[in-house]
Structure 1
């Protein structure tokens, strides 16, 4: 099956999405870059065949930004209630 779903995104929309993702990912630290890149690559490998090819890069960057933000929050101890509840279950 070829990658992408045959749908294309107009250049203005793609540029808008790219700018937004760049802002989201602006804070990726050097320590978080590699794990965020690898996590995004793993997620993207399962979804690239379902999204337009011209959104592959922006999708990968968005996932990286989210993963890096989660790592940053964990380092700071900023855990939401759902994460705390799961930790309590695991620690049992």
Structure 2
């Protein structure tokens, strides 16, 4: 992979994680580490940091969406489906 392509990919991941708030960093980092631990053995070492940063950015974005209530409707819908299944629906 060329140096230029590496920089472009790194810049893209940084842009994805540009909004990672300090309060989200530790849980997002830990989740990304857990997610990536199974992937690391299947990808070249030179991509480990890039993949970890992308997972961290995605998890942090999901935490922020959750705080803003952006996921509430989806959670309610899933809970209703579970309730229906548990009640024989």
* TM-score, normalized by the shorter chain, greater than 0.5: yes
Runs in 1 of length 4+ with deviation above 2 angstroms?
Answer: 80-85, 87-90
Of 43, 61, 67, the match for 2:59: 67
Distance 1:80 1:17 in 2: 32
The answer to whether the aligner puts 1:50 opposite 2:39 as a matched pair is no
- Aligned-partner Cα distance in 2 for 1:27–1:70: 11
**2:30 aligned residue:** 38
Q: How many residues align?
A: 83
TM-score (norm 1): 0.80
**Alignment RMSD:** 1.7
Separation (CA, whole Å) in 2 of partners of 1:81 and 1:52: 39
- The normalised TM-score by structure 2 is 0.82
**Post-superposition CA distance 1:37-58 (Å, at most 9, x none):** 0000001100011112111111
Residue ranges of structure 1 left out of the alignment (5+ in a row): 1-8
Task: Give the number of the structure whose alpha-carbon radius of gyration is greater.
Answer: 2
Gaps of 5+ in 2: 84-89
